[in-house]
Amino acid sequence: MKVIFVTDLHGDRTKYRRLIEVARDFKAEVIINCGDMLPKGKDILNQGEFITDYLDGYFSELNAAGIYHLSYLGNDDLQMFDQLFDDTCGKYPYIINLAQRRFELQGYEFIGMNWVADYPFLLKDRCRKDIKDFVFPPQLGKGLVSTTQGLREVRDWISYANALPTIEDELDRLVTPASMETAVYVIHMPPSDLGLDICLDGREVGSTALYRFIEKNQPLLTLHGHIHESPDRTGIWQAKLGETICVQPGQSYRKLTYVTIDTIAMRIERWQI
């Protein structure tokens, strides 16, 4: 199977368009998008319009071309638009919302998860403690979550988060594949301790729970995003944990960054155009 893997496009229409061209040139059967799909910043409250005005047509084009698209919304994509995104994906048989779900294709099982370990920033829609004794980073504010009525402030974010499932809990809740040897986990958060999680200032922010999960279960592949700058800062965009290959291509602000995967030859290459 030929796969294009990309992450953190943040509503960049030029990159989305180039991705279709790349998929056709590579003769890809699947595009996997690892989250943070929608515009952010001043346009964050208009993410619903991006889904209806752009992604709907984009999905329709991929569906007509017979190219599967497996994706989910990420931590910068407002949870208030989850239902709209799910409904839009549901219009097309080749378009799959992979959030906390499993999808089987050509003998491979793709399992997605879009929760991330907590960070300092305000938007907390998809944030969780990593493990039970997780130490929260210094917070830049009280925290915000999105609802169908708009953004809501969480006055005591730490107490709120302490009542939520951890990343470790969420991993345990995922559907178990029939065989880890053909399982591909698509998880927005990168694991810790593999060099895939390095911020511009050198902080290591990956998930200990995820590292332990991969080490224990040994799936075929794990695909990640979230920390755009890590691969360009360290030169590391893939690593092995036991027999599992972990991939985190990052995303450039100026160039489309993506990975091609040939699952038969297990050939994995990173590209920037």
Using pLDDT thresholds of 50, 70 and 90, give the confidence band for residue 78.
very high
Which residue pairs from 247-251 have beta carbons closer than 8 angstroms and sit at least 24 positions apart in sequence?
Answer: 247/5, 247/221, 247/222, 247/223, 248/7, 248/190, 248/196, 248/197, 248/223, 248/224, 249/5, 249/6, 249/7, 249/225, 250/7, 250/8, 250/225, 251/6, 251/7, 251/8, 251/9, 251/10, 251/225
Using pLDDT thresholds of 50, 70 and 90, give the confidence band for residue 168.
very high
Domain of 40 in residue numbering reads as: 2-272
Quote the number of domains for the chain.
1
As a whole-number percent, the residues of the chain with pLDDT over 90 amount to: 98
178-213: pLDDT as tens digits: 999 999 999 999 999 999 999 999 999 999 999 999
**Within 13 Å of residue 194, how many CA atoms lie on the same side as its CB?**
27
124-152: pLDDT as tens digits: 999 999 999 999 999 999 999 999 999 99
Q: Which pLDDT belongs to residue 154?
A: 97
pLDDT(43) > 90 = no
24-42: pLDDT as tens digits: 999 999 999 999 999 999 8
CATH of the domain at 95: 3.60.21.10
